[in-house]
Amino acid sequence: MKQLTSNLSLIIIFMTFFWTTGCSQNEKEIKVITFETTLGPIVIELFEEEAPVTSKNFLEYAESGFFNGTIFHRVIPGFVIQGGGMEPGMINKEGNPPIMNEANNGVKNTKWSLSMARTNDPHSASSQFFINVVNNISLDHTEETSQGWGYAVFGEVVEGFETVEAIAATATGSSGFHQDVPLEDISIIDTKVTTE
């Protein structure tokens, strides 16, 4: 009888453990950002565990409405579409201070992934981001040097692939010293942040 009671206690403990573990996994919240653009919606899920600093930074911009009215100002078919920092007329929109580069998180610049744009300084990313429209292994982290840091992946497109493809297919030209600029503005009209 004691053995049976002991076995039942162990079973209850294991069942409780697996139940609570399952619940905590199910309760894990994923932040989803929806951009309503002039060419349709783009829905993005953030990799908050893999890129916490970058995700928090992007989320702050999204929740504040910073991206509304900005344009996709750099479009290169077979490479990336970039936005998040320019207003119509290629006017720079001042963002928050730069953040630490998290490209060493092991996440790759695969098709549909979302990464931070930056200057030659590895830790200069602020508000500008790009969506990879192909697998761009040349943008991945290789080493912690100015040449090898790479570009931090912090999310992925989960809906609106056709919108991304439409943006990538748009006609481009030069605007001042900027190249690969869409001839007609493609704007982010509205930004919504939800939790799944």
- For the stretch 66-96, pLDDT in tens is 999 999 999 999 999 999 999 999 999 999 9
**What is the per-residue pLDDT for 46?**
97
Per-residue pLDDT reduced to its tens digit, 151-162: 999 999 999 999
**What is the per-residue pLDDT for 43?**
98
Q: How far apart are CA 76 and CA 83, in angstroms?
A: 12
Asked whether the whole model's pTM tops 0.95, one would answer: no
Per-residue pLDDT reduced to its tens digit, 90-101: 999 999 999 999
Q: How far apart are CA 93 and CA 169, in angstroms?
A: 25
Burial class (CB in 10 A: 0-12, 13-18, 19+), 158: middle
Q: How far apart are CA 192 and CA 181, in angstroms?
A: 26
Q: What is the CATH number of domain 31-195?
A: 2.40.100.10
Kindly list the domain boundaries of the chain, sorted by start residue. Answer: 31-195
